[in-house]
Amino acid sequence: WVKNQAPSAELKLPDGLIDNLHSFRVSTKFKRAALHVIANQLGEGQVKALRDIFIALDDNGDGLLTADEIQDGMRRSGFKVPVDLEQILQEVDSDGSGVIDYTEFLAATLDKRTYCQEDLCWAAFRVFDRDDSGKISKEEVAQLLGNGTATNQVREMAEIFEEIDTNGDGEIDFQEFMEMMRRGGSKAAPSSSRIGSKSSANLALIEQT
């Protein structure tokens, strides 16, 4: 529904946009998946500013952003293009398509004041807590890590639970989930940069159930 909108010749990007992209880059795969869920829950009024930016960046009106379109938009706004923009966009491009769709853009650019609203986080938490136990198990997190080698999955799982599972019970409760969302990023850069196409499909399936 963002296709074929007339792009604006004038473009002003908010000062925090680059910071939000950097924060997304250093977040765990699990937090990035949570941001995708939240982005899908937001009403048009809550994301109007970001929607307008997306449309303005989308020069050809195809509903997708290329790296060139994003770099051009930054230059038009007087922003210095980050040296790690390519790496950032690789992580924003969660399905590995080579372009950024609207939901991917929202997930990576949402302001913390928006995505840390407790009702939104609770709704996202319940998406991952598939058995309604009040906690997210390692098995439930593993469904998001659907691609990659077994070694990578073990490492990613260890990173996620080391950061989030502060009481060490092997599960993620809502308080721990909220603490993850409130943090600016991960304690360390994630070892795997993308959610991945298979994991994105898994996330879509989880959201529908």
CB 42 within 8 A of CB 104: no
Give the single-character DSSP code of 166: T
Query: What is the rounded average pLDDT for all residues in the chain?
Result: 84
Residues 164-194: tens digit of each pLDDT: 999 999 999 999 999 999 986 554 444 444 4
Chain center to CA of 27: 9
CB 20 within 8 A of CB 111: yes
Smallest Cα–Cα separation from 117: which of 191, 43, 60? 43
Residues 120-161: tens digit of each pLDDT: 999 999 999 999 999 999 999 988 777 666 777 788 889 999
Residue 89 Rama label (left phi>0; alpha psi -120 to 50; beta): alpha
Higher-confidence residue: 152 or 70?
A: 70
Smallest Cα–Cα separation from 92: which of 151, 160, 18? 18
Q: What are phi and psi of 98, to 5 degrees?
A: 95, -5
Residues 1-41: tens digit of each pLDDT: 455 454 444 577 887 888 899 999 889 889 999 999 999 99
